[in-house]
Amino acid sequence: MTTVATTVAEPTRRDFLFIATGAVGAVGVASAIWPFISQMAPDAATVAAGAPVDFDLGPIAEGQIVKLFWRGKLIFVRHRTAEEIKTAENTPLSDLKDPEADSARVQKGHAQWLVVYGNCTHLGCVPLGNEGPYHGWACPCHGSIFDTSGRIRQGPAPTNLPIPPYAFLSDTKIQIG
């Protein structure tokens, strides 16, 4: 009968140097590859441009129109007066070029707040607020007239001012996008 003696080798300095060299090499490769991987992500300006925008309605006085930008597009936020709301609600749809009820253009329970894109639907000009016979918006370039609900009433614009996606976070705060 033969007996085999087994011995367990103790780690040597060479083993330590081999492991340390491998670890340093792995860190070096990772740091060399990282810039190539991170450049594939969109930059901060691109991310911010598409991100939702929170907007505080508290400081907006009744009758005032505020302009802001979301995704590079102009947005009008209008705090409508009770008279403006009543006039917009009582406008017969037959008088409108692009018939749409006022209630379909505002969110339920928040009729005083109108949020629309701020470019004329004719050629993209920026209409002036609180102008024209309907005290809504008037396009100075080609004469399109919008009412206080952003609906086209006169002029060459084919459709109403579009409504961006938005939601009320509270009674005085909205999120666009």
Among candidate residues 79, 110, 135, 142, the one labeled active-site is 142
Q: Which two tokens stand for residue 122?
A: 């004719």
Strands (E), 17-165: 53-56, 65-70, 73-79, 113-117, 128-131, 136-138, 145-146, 152-154
The amino acid at 29: V
* Torsion 160-166-169-175 (CA) sign: negative
Is 142 a residue of the active site?
yes
The span from the CA of 43 to the CA of 59, in Å, is: 32
The span from the CA of 87 to the CA of 50, in Å, is: 35
Residues 6+ apart with CB under 8 A from 93: 99, 100, 101
Active site residues: 142
